[in-house]
Amino acid sequence: MKRLFVTDLAAGKPANSCFLVVAKDRRLTQKQSPYLALVLADRTGKINARVWDNADQFDPLFQAGDFIEVSGQAEGYQGRLQLKVQNLRRVASSDVEAGDFVRQSEKDPEALFAELVAILSEVRNPHLRRLLASVLEEREIAEKLKRAPAAKLMHHAYVGGLIEHIVSLCRLSQRVAEHYPELDLDLLLTASLLHDLGKIDELKVEPAIEYSTEGRLLGHIVLELELVNRKIDAIEGFPAALRRVVQHLIVSHHGQREFGSPEVPKFAEAIAFHFLDDLDSKLEAVRSALGELPPGEGWTSWNRALDRQLTDAKRLLGSAAGAQAPSLLDEKKR
């Protein structure tokens, strides 16, 4: 059992523990000496680490995605905690406990699943209602859905993150369809459930979030298309035109080809859903980054997912904003 977690680290104290290597970069000092810049993590958070000495010796021993046992010391650097690594060794994934490294959703997956079933039962189109029910009624799919992350790093990257993301999109879809009554809510809800469903097989969560062989070979869009086509084939009389619309919602949800969509969104519901998905993903990434912000710190470190540093407007405005609205972090606790 891992005894020392990221949140236990303190400046000036020894830091001897096992961590997941989230990122690894070989760099040069101003004097052209090599060193390793690392981001290490466990279920409680992330910390920057540096291997200043013997970088050439340690560099070949591990890669990003590996587990390493480190010996070193935590120290303050530019107002943040950083780990100075003096020694390390790679640890086999079979020798670590998944629960020590994989973050869990703070929300009850069973409650989220029950809410999802209730929302989707309101779908009026009989063919879409049958399709969605056949997905949720398949025991294996349901159990995977309750545990799957929505991503490895970008957003909702924790056990239970996918169903949290899907339910959030269903809620957003309901509100947007109320504001724009010309949108077909049935299509938005269908996209909410199906757009990332392939991630139940694309990603695995033990001992850490990683891509499966199927995920590396095909990706989640292909995997969910296969699943959806199988389900539709089993529904007698499912309209061919409706099949194409559902397929388009899936293949276009990334919005642009360079972001992984085989096609760009080409009807109103597909365009709306892409932006809802993007909004929910990015705000979750912001929540996660701000949640790791040390007390009193104004800005996050560089966020690779969003390609910027982040801050909380409430901190900038001070107590004057306190009574106006909850922060993103307060929203997450609801």
Count of CB atoms situated within 10 Å of the CB of 210: 15
What is the sign, positive or negative, of the torsion defined by CA atoms of 300, 302, 304, 309? Answer: positive
Q: Which of 97, 98, 74 has the alpha carbon at shortest distance from 86?
A: 74
The domain limits of the chain are: 6-99, 102-284
Tokens of 91: 């640890």
CATH code given to domain 6-99? 2.40.50.140
pLDDT tens for the 334 residues of the chain, in order: 677 999 888 888 899 999 999 889 999 999 999 999 998 988 888 889 999 999 999 999 999 889 999 999 998 887 778 999 999 999 998 888 877 887 788 899 999 999 999 999 999 999 999 999 999 999 999 999 999 988 776 778 788 899 999 999 999 999 999 999 999 999 999 999 999 999 998 888 876 788 889 989 998 999 999 999 999 999 999 999 999 999 999 999 998 888 878 999 999 999 999 999 999 999 988 988 887 776 666 888 788 778 898 998 888 887 555 555 566 556 555 5
Tokens of 70: 């480190």
Spell out the residues 6+ positions from residue 192 whose beta carbon is closer than 8 angstroms to its own: 166, 169, 170, 173, 273
